[in-house]
């Protein structure tokens, strides 16, 4: 929604008593969530849109959330089932970090940082995604009881879209604008401007600007076309 559309909506809400009451309610709810995030030691930079109560487990370390970030934890009004609330967890390392860039939407994802998980601006993280920068336990029997013996930072660059039920594992960097297909397991870094999918996720398509132009051309309505519902 752009600035003009936002102003029109705000004016309509202010002129209508039910809309006005709704606006007051929304702001009270927003204040309550902001206080909740602050009480958990989360640092926010601007508005955070919270839909349903997230789980915040900040053992130590830091969680930074940018402006206009959405944290969704239930599926009311959403098109897919969200199996669990959005969970942001920083582990026991003092420098453990989760950073979420402006305008990113997180819809019921679990993000557990032992070391560092950075999510850029304008990303879409669909329902039930898991992002971890550690395996949780060592692979050798002697290390099995150790918690998070190995960790490698995860970086999701700007404008990335991660499809439903995907898993992003330690050490992965997903390049700018790329898309991860639903249900993928991403074990290795993915370059920018591509679609990657599967288990393990592989590049299945390159998002070049020529193909984008061709698709826009093909989907543009013909002259004189009027939709039945406008
Ligand atoms: C990733 C996605 C957007 C790509 O769509 P697309 O560009 O139309 O992809 P295509 O259908 O052309 O598929 C390209 C190839 O990748 C494969 N592929 C696509 N998505 C896949 C997936 N999730 N897992 C495994 N393979 C997949 C296709 O089978 C095809 O393989 P082929 O070339 O061997 O035939 C789509 O497949 C997807 O996963 N959609 C769901 C997104 C989602 O989670 N939305 C939630 C709301 S935010």
Banded pLDDT at 55 (limits 50, 70, 90): very high
Give the number of domains in the chain: 2
Name which residue sits closest to atom 35 of ligand 1, judged by CA.
Answer: 204
**166 and 87 share a domain?**
yes
Q: Is residue 208 part of a domain?
A: yes
Q: Which CA distances in Å does 53 have to 47, 56, 64, 87, 105?
A: 16, 9, 17, 10, 15
Are residues 47 and 9 both part of a single domain?
no
Instruction: List phi, psi (to 5°) of 122.
Output: 65, 25
Domain extent at residue 3? 1-39
The Å distance, Cα 163 to ligand 1 centre, comes to: 9
Instruction: Specify the pLDDT at position 159.
Output: 98
Tokens of 66: 């940018």
pLDDT reported for residue 34: 81
Q: Hey, CA dihedral for 170, 55, 99, 174, is it positive or negative?
A: positive
CA of 64 to the centre of ligand 1 (A): 31
Atom of ligand 1 nearest to the CA of 124: 48
State in Å: Cα 206 to ligand 1 middle. Answer: 12
Confidence band, pLDDT 50/70/90 cuts, at residue 217: confident
Answer whether residue 53 is part of any domain: yes
Helix H or strand E segment including 174: strand 173-174
Encode pLDDT of 182-207 as tens digits. Answer: 999 999 999 999 999 999 999 999 99
Question: pLDDT tens digit string along 135-175?
Answer: 999 999 998 888 878 999 999 999 999 999 999 999 999 99
Looking at residue 29, what is its pLDDT?
77
Q: Are residues 59 and 165 in the same domain?
A: yes
Tokens 């330690």 correspond to: 170
**Comparison of pLDDT for 227 and 155, the residue scoring more:** 155
CATH of the domain at 69: 2.160.10.10
H-run or E-run covering 167: strand 167-168
pLDDT tens for each residue of 110-128: 999 999 999 999 999 999 9
Does the residue 229 lie in any domain? no
Report pLDDT for 230. Answer: 45
112 lies in the same domain as 192: yes
What is the predicted pLDDT for the residue at 228?
65
Mean pLDDT calculated for residue range 215-224: 72
Q: What is the structure's pLDDT at 225?
A: 67
Q: Is the dihedral of CA 69, 73, 76, 80 positive or negative?
A: positive
Chain position carrying tokens 């999510």 = 119
Distances (CA, A) of 5 to 11, 109, 227: 10, 29, 22
Strands (E), 29-153: 42-44, 48-51, 55-58, 62-65, 69-72, 87-90, 97-100, 105-107, 110-113, 116-119, 124-125, 130-132
Residues 47 and 143 in one domain: yes
Same domain, 104 and 19: no
Q: Is the whole model's pTM more than 0.85, yes or no?
A: yes
Q: Does residue 165 belong to any structural domain of this protein?
A: yes
Is 80 exceeded by the pLDDT of residue 213?
Answer: no
Angle between helices 17-39 and 3-15 (to 10 degrees): 120
Average pLDDT across the chain, whole number: 90
Residue nearest to atom 43 of ligand 1 (CA): 163
179 occurs within a structural domain: yes
Nearest CA to ligand 1 atom 27: 197
Is there a single domain that holds both residue 212 and residue 156?
Answer: yes
Asked whether residue 230 is domain-assigned, the answer is: no
Q: What is the mean pLDDT of residues 94-121?
A: 97
Residue 28 sits in the same domain as residue 113:
no
82 and 152 belong to one structural domain: yes
Q: Would 164 be classed as within a structural domain?
A: yes
């Amino acid at each position: 929604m752009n600035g003009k559309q936002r102003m029109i909506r705000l004016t309509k809400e202010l002129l209508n008593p039910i809309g006005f009451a709704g606006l007051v309610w929304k702001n009270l709810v927003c204040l309550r969530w902001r206080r909740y995030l602050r009480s958990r030691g989360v640092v926010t930079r601007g508005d955070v849109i919270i839909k349903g109560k997230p789980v915040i487990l900040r053992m130590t370390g830091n969680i930074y959330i940018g402006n206009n970030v959405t944290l969704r934890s239930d599926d009311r009004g959403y098109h897919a089932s969200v199996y669990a609330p959005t969970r942001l967890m920083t582990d026991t390392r003092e420098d453990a970090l989760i950073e979420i860039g402006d305008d990113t939407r997180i819809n019921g994802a679990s993000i557990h940082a032992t070391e560092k998980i950075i999510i850029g601006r304008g990303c879409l993280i669909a329902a039930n995604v898991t992002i971890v920068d550690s395996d949780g336990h060592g692979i050798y029997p002697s290390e099995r009881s150790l918690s998070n013996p190995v960790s490698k930072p995860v970086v999701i660059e700007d404008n990335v879209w991660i499809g439903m039920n995907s898993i992003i594992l330690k050490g992965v960097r997903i390049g700018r604008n790329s898309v991860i297909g639903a249900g993928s397991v991403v074990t290795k870094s993915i370059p920018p401007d591509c679609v990657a999918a599967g288990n393990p996720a592989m590049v299945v398509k390159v998002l070049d600007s020529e193909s984008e132009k061709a698709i826009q051309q093909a989907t543009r309505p013909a002259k004189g076309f009027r939709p039945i519902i406008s």
